[in-house]
Structure 1
Amino acid sequence: MSKTPVGEIRPSQLLWTYGPGALIDLPNLSVVTMGIDRWEKDRCQPIQEARLLANVRSALGPQVDSLRMPPISERDIVDPFSAAALIGVPVKPFPRWLRCVKCGLLSPYDAGLFKLKENRYRPELTRFVHEGCRGSKNDQRARDADAVPARFLMACRAGHLDDFAWNWFVHGGPSDCRATLRFFESGASLQTENLWVKCDGCGASKNMAQAFGQAGRDNLPGCRGRHSHVDRFDDDCAEEPRAILLGATNSWFPVTLSVLAIPQTGSPLIQLVGDGWTFFEDVSSPDKVDLAVKMLKKAALLPGIEQFTNDQIWSAIVAHRNGTTEVGQSDLKGPEWDILTAENPPTDYPHFMSKKVGIPSGFEVTVRRVLLLERLREVNALLGFTRVESPDEGTGDAAAPRAPLGRSAPDWVPATQVHGEGIFVRFDSDALKSWANTEAVKSLDARLRTGHRGWRHKRNLDPNEGYPGARYVMLHTLAHMLIRELALECGYNAASIRERVYAEVDGDKDQAGFLIYTAAADSDGTLGGLVELGKPENLGRLLHQALDRAHICASDPLCSEHDPSKDQSLHGAACHACSFVSETSCERGNRHLDRALVVPTLEYPDAAFFRNV
């Protein structure tokens, strides 16, 4: 087949929504993004972030040498038929099975029953057609009919994705019948009970309700271990395949790591040289510094480097080269906590600029520090993906099961960087310790822990790992409440505001705080709205509003009475009406929340950290 451009997506979507192995629903086709070994690496601009790269290497292997932006060009076009597209990211049609919208013919696109029809003037509208279709019984005129992707697929928790086993399903197992299949609807609704597949040869038929639940386990074959994005089959997959719908959100979940770009040195110039070391590592003499700086200015990279002379930059290059040490794997949040809680946090223009402000009135006992981050940079890296069930986000568990990005071990991974602003709030550790030792908190913590164990046990995971503790749940819930208030006034939409909770207490660590920040690709720089609301007079008002709203939820008493130990869930008194936010905003996917640990509720009046506010 010839190369045919069929659509375009934003580069940032290749990390969060349509990465390797994800399905893209185009106007007339459904395609899967190919593995990164098929991408044009030279078109992917490198991102410098040593801390994140060290942790990515720990997860994927020492062969990973860089973090890179998705390919960027004037027009990022995806190509469904070639793994060597001249621009953009290669994809291929998936699922292979198509259905004629008139006669219901069900067949793979490469079986010869459907033909690709190109649009010379609108390439993105290229489509498959069933030529000479006779239509339904009521319309026997021969005409071309559109063929659309079959809406059912099979996936498993090991990350495999395959075409639905139509022949196996309709015949109840292996069969010698090779007649064509038909997909049709009966009844007024489109429930699975009213969707049927039928064999034209032997007349066998089955409705799609029998592909789900326990019936699906009996009617579907074992998983073939297919990684459709790399054209590979794994041997002996032990997971049970499940029927999923085309376009369902559980078909692809990214596994990512993210860090804040924090100053690593006391010198702004040395920090700049370190951030852009890719451009300076080949500079061998002072005479070549000017050329490197001109290239950076032309590309609008490393803003601030123009403030220094060539001699100063050369001295910084020599200092960096002589003192370069490999950054090792570390706790991703630990170094950030140290910088955010430092007496005088260093500045790294334009990536990190902060200002300390006063404590909001009424919170002097519980809050120890408020830091306004006027500039910050977040870097995210894609490690792989899961299907059917989302990963345990935010735990930093880089060794969690995931599907691969390519056929072989990658030497680079897709990454993005975004700039924004934020508010950091540090709480009093002694007050949190006293609160955590009360009997009411211990009782509620035990219920949350029991629900966590049950949730992991159902998924064949170690039930004794992953529970973050009552301190984390309280801080996480309060962060959500504040995000909901900030979204009403700061000028950013709610999905553009994110959180980063610091609640590690293992060993000698005693973290107690959270960072609420903007990190959206369409907000390069800052609007200033979030920092403005971090000032004492505004933050105090917003905290009071958040706590007042949380006392009574629109879903009470059901929300306040929810017991996670009974239904094996990961949240207590929390729901969309009071505590949930956009999943792009939450580092845990709206897990580990309970407003009863923040404010008194109808069911648990004695476990709240803010009882008298």
Structure 2
Amino acid sequence: MAYEKTPVGSVRPSQLLWTYGPGALVDLPNLSVVTSGIDVWEKDRCHLVIENRLLAAVQKALGPQVESLRMPPISKNESNDTNSAEANVGVPVRPFPRWLRCVKCGLLSPYDSGLFELKEGYRRPEATRFVHQGCRGSKGDQPAKDADAVPARFLLACKNGHLDDFPWQWFVHSGPNDCKGTLRFFESGASLQTENLWVKCDACGAARNMAHAFGQLGKENLPGCRGRHPHLDHYDPDCDAEPRAVLLGATNSWFPVSLSALAIPQAKNGLAQLLEDGWSFFSDLDSLEEVPLAIKLLKKTGALPGIEQYSAEAIWAGIEAHRSGDGESVTEADIKGPEWRVLIDPVPVNDYPHFLSEAVAVPQGFQGKIARVLLLKRLREVNALLGFTRVEAPDDSGGGGAGPIQAPLSRAKPDWVPANQVHGEGIFIQFDEQSIAEWEQSADVQAADARLRGGHKGWRNSRHLCPPDDGYPGARYVMLHTLAHLLIRELALECGYNAASIRERIYAEVNEDGSQCGFIIYTAAADSDGTLGGLVELGKPENLERLLVQALRRARICSSDPLCAEHDPRKDRSLHTAACHACSFVAETSCERGNRYLDRAMVVPTFENAKAAFFPDA
């Protein structure tokens, strides 16, 4: 990361999608910076990620002008040579908030006011900081050489995705004022509660307590939103959202909006799949003589692993077949539909090195409930960042419909979006469709479903989202989702992987193309997690049977019962029934719905509801 070619710190590439993407604040040891929009990233240093299904889904969301998915630029420089070209590889950032506070005298002023100086840490980028020149200490009589200046800890944000500096001058003077005096920030008590934090004007003596910036007082004492996008250096006109004060580092200041897809084989053979994945490299070739040069380039860059094992003649024949339509697979914007069709194929489909699967026997005692178990020995997940929201998470709409406004990644419509790919392993479990359908028709299941649907309506009504029924996933999804959570918690105790690196992917759609009823539990971490075979080993029949039995028995009684089992989502407008941190919740990174739409009573009998369980004899 760099500010005018000044390195200020480093983050992992995957964090530029999930934590510190465009528009997000990076709270460094001495600085706070905002990651710039992708229109000022060095696109040529961002390597391509090939996944046509995900690209089609991104184009459906952002427009057909999106041409590619690309990884964030990665610096491989491990030395301290700051003059090398490699040292300048990174993501552009700029200081934000603009207002800094001197730790010695409390001076509060923008960093470009001339009162602060940037001290660069040439050998230690994390030591780069601003200092207050000419500081004379808190009493004004003791010169303090190079007193550090730290970012002001208060900002303004709104649910339309805007972020702005806190209006210090407006706030301390209770509105617009011509006073140009310097401001001081100080503490009046032993604790750092907002009641003990004050800002004061040196010229006119006006002072104000920071408690007036929050809650109902904040609504009365803060100006309207200016529509600022600091990562784009741009202002949106006429924002009507109500701004609110947030703290620097607050988790609600940036929520990523992303899409993910599993790389699955869609073509008839390995070569056809490679040509489908990398068609952008071959579409312009006009003759057989041009193929060897393309192969050499792809082998050197590693952009299409496996293409080098085929001869130029075979590749040219495949190109001609692709152009004629023979063997050309249809690119679909639908993400999970093609994955489901590959996973339930009677003959396990493989596409080394991205996808290797093996069918195994159904665990003993679960034949009537489970139809198929597939060990996914290798899989590749590709994630793409579409935008972000502030204040409210993108799924705060309660599962669908209108929600918080998605902020853009660039000023103009993007022609590429940041993406990353991770490799891992997993277990796919397909449930018996007839058993699921019969279970859904039970009056007790429908009653349990009605309770959660009532909570869903209340959730959306409390956020003024219409229509209130929109986005509810149904009892099938709730049961599969809850069971996946129970199994994740059990697997985490035995597989040896970090619990937060185990994820779920639920297939529960019912439409004209057929019914889905299953899930994948897989590891997809950006480091070595997910590559050791521990999860696949636990998917073998004898191990999976034991884990399923343990998970179901453990779920019957929660340490928070009877409160957990008796929870009615209609009363508190929540999105879960019999579920809590003690029994069913998992890490936010593991769940595709933020620990929502969970109900143990739909999986196993509970104290409150013993008749709605899909596994009544567990």
TM-score by length of 2: 0.93
Moved more, 213-222 or 289-298: 289-298
The 3-state SS of whatever aligns with 1:297 is: helix
1:424-476 residue CA offsets vs partner (Å, 9 max, x unmatched): 10112222222222222222211211111121222232222111111111111
Of the three residues 562, 571, 576, the one matched with 1:571 is 576
Report whether the alignment pairs 1:52 with 2:54: yes
1:62, CA displacement in angstroms?
Answer: 1.1
Of the three residues 351, 362, 387, the one matched with 1:348 is 351
CA distance in 2, matches of 1:76, 1:224: 42
Aligned to 2:611: 606
Give the conservation status (yes or no) of the 8 Å contact 2:485–2:585. yes
1:171, CA displacement in angstroms?
Answer: 2.0
Aligned to 1:126: 128
CA distance in 1, matches of 2:513, 2:278: 34
CA distance in 2, matches of 1:53, 1:300: 20
Give the conservation status (yes or no) of the 8 Å contact 2:440–2:446. yes
The 3-state SS of whatever aligns with 1:424 is: strand
Report whether the alignment pairs 1:358 with 2:361: yes
The letter for the 2-side match of 1:574 is: A
**Cα–Cα, structure 1 residues 75 and 91, in superposed 2: closer, same or farther, change >3 Å?**
farther
Of the three residues 509, 524, 538, the one matched with 2:514 is 509
The letter for the 1-side match of 2:444 is: A
Report whether the alignment pairs 1:449 with 2:453: yes
Aligned to 2:9: 7
Moved more, 293-302 or 45-54: 293-302
Give the conservation status (yes or no) of the 8 Å contact 1:50–1:327. no
Aligned to 2:100: 98
1:556-593 residue CA offsets vs partner (Å, 9 max, x unmatched): 23222222111111112222221111111111111111
Aligned to 2:410: 406
CA distance in 2, matches of 1:204, 1:556: 54
CA distance in 2, matches of 1:493, 1:417: 19
Report whether the alignment pairs 1:426 with 2:426: no
Instruction: Tell me the percent identity.
Output: 71
1:103, CA displacement in angstroms?
Answer: 1.4
1:24, CA displacement in angstroms?
Answer: 0.7
1:397, CA displacement in angstroms?
Answer: 7.6
The 3-state SS of whatever aligns with 1:385 is: strand
1:491, CA displacement in angstroms?
Answer: 2.6
The 3-state SS of whatever aligns with 1:492 is: coil
Aligned to 2:543: 538
The letter for the 2-side match of 1:509 is: G
1:173-222 residue CA offsets vs partner (Å, 9 max, x unmatched): 22222211111122222222222222222322222222121111111111
Question: What does 1:460-475 align with in structure 2 at a 5 Å threshold?
Answer: 460-462=464-466, 463-475=468-480
CA distance in 1, matches of 2:130, 2:26: 16
The 3-state SS of whatever aligns with 2:133 is: strand
1:295-344 residue CA offsets vs partner (Å, 9 max, x unmatched): 33333443333433332222122222332869555321111111111111
Aligned to 1:439: 443
1:536, CA displacement in angstroms?
Answer: 0.6
The 3-state SS of whatever aligns with 2:134 is: strand
1:9, CA displacement in angstroms?
Answer: 1.5
Give the conservation status (yes or no) of the 8 Å contact 1:382–1:415. yes
Report whether the alignment pairs 1:369 with 2:335: no
The letter for the 1-side match of 2:339 is: E
**Cα–Cα, structure 1 residues 569 and 422, in superposed 2: closer, same or farther, change >3 Å?**
same
The 3-state SS of whatever aligns with 2:551 is: helix
Equivalent pairs, count: 606
Moved more, 163-172 or 534-543: 163-172
1:609, CA displacement in angstroms?
Answer: 1.4
Give the conservation status (yes or no) of the 8 Å contact 2:134–2:145. yes
CA distance in 2, matches of 1:123, 1:262: 41
CA distance in 2, matches of 1:220, 1:206: 12
The letter for the 1-side match of 2:553 is: D
Aligned to 2:67: 65
**Cα–Cα, structure 1 residues 142 and 372, in superposed 2: closer, same or farther, change >3 Å?**
closer
CA distance in 1, matches of 2:423, 2:295: 22
**Cα–Cα, structure 1 residues 43 and 319, in superposed 2: closer, same or farther, change >3 Å?**
same
TM-score by length of 1: 0.94
CA distance in 2, matches of 1:525, 1:300: 22
Of the three residues 103, 109, 112, the one matched with 2:111 is 109
Give the conservation status (yes or no) of the 8 Å contact 1:484–1:581. yes
CA distance in 2, matches of 1:361, 1:26: 53
Aligned to 1:268: 270
Moved more, 396-405 or 380-389: 396-405
Question: What does 1:230-379 align with in structure 2 at a 5 Å threshold?
Answer: 230-323=232-325, 327=330, 329-379=332-382
Q: What is the Cα-based RMSD across aligned positions, in Å? A: 2.3
Moved more, 292-301 or 376-385: 292-301
Aligned to 2:419: 415
CA distance in 2, matches of 1:595, 1:191: 40
The letter for the 2-side match of 1:494 is: A
Aligned to 1:392: 395
Aligned to 1:82: none
Moved more, 183-192 or 236-245: 183-192
Aligned to 1:80: none
Aligned to 2:83: none
Give the conservation status (yes or no) of the 8 Å contact 2:354–2:380. yes
1:254-311 residue CA offsets vs partner (Å, 9 max, x unmatched): 1011111111111111112222233333443333333333333333443333433332
Give the conservation status (yes or no) of the 8 Å contact 1:419–1:523. no
CA distance in 2, matches of 1:398, 1:292: 46
CA distance in 2, matches of 1:432, 1:156: 43
Gaps of 5+ in 1: 78-84
CA distance in 2, matches of 1:198, 1:450: 50
CA distance in 2, matches of 1:558, 1:174: 52
CA distance in 1, matches of 2:23, 2:426: 33
The 3-state SS of whatever aligns with 1:32 is: strand
Report whether the alignment pairs 1:193 with 2:198: no
1:244, CA displacement in angstroms?
Answer: 0.9
Aligned to 2:463: 459
Moved more, 417-426 or 181-190: 181-190
**Cα–Cα, structure 1 residues 494 and 199, in superposed 2: closer, same or farther, change >3 Å?**
same
CA distance in 2, matches of 1:548, 1:195: 52
The 3-state SS of whatever aligns with 2:6 is: coil
Give the conservation status (yes or no) of the 8 Å contact 2:60–2:333. no
The 3-state SS of whatever aligns with 1:409 is: coil
Give the conservation status (yes or no) of the 8 Å contact 1:179–1:199. yes
1:147, CA displacement in angstroms?
Answer: 0.5
Aligned to 1:554: 559
Moved more, 488-497 or 148-157: 488-497
**Cα–Cα, structure 1 residues 129 and 589, in superposed 2: closer, same or farther, change >3 Å?**
same
Moved more, 411-420 or 123-132: 123-132
CA distance in 1, matches of 2:21, 2:402: 18
Give the conservation status (yes or no) of the 8 Å contact 2:54–2:333. no
1:502-522 residue CA offsets vs partner (Å, 9 max, x unmatched): 111244531111011111111
Report whether the alignment pairs 1:381 with 2:387: no
The 3-state SS of whatever aligns with 1:488 is: helix
Moved more, 305-314 or 408-417: 305-314
The letter for the 2-side match of 1:364 is: Q
1:144, CA displacement in angstroms?
Answer: 2.4
**Cα–Cα, structure 1 residues 399 and 327, in superposed 2: closer, same or farther, change >3 Å?**
farther
The letter for the 1-side match of 2:376 is: L
Report whether the alignment pairs 1:22 with 2:24: yes
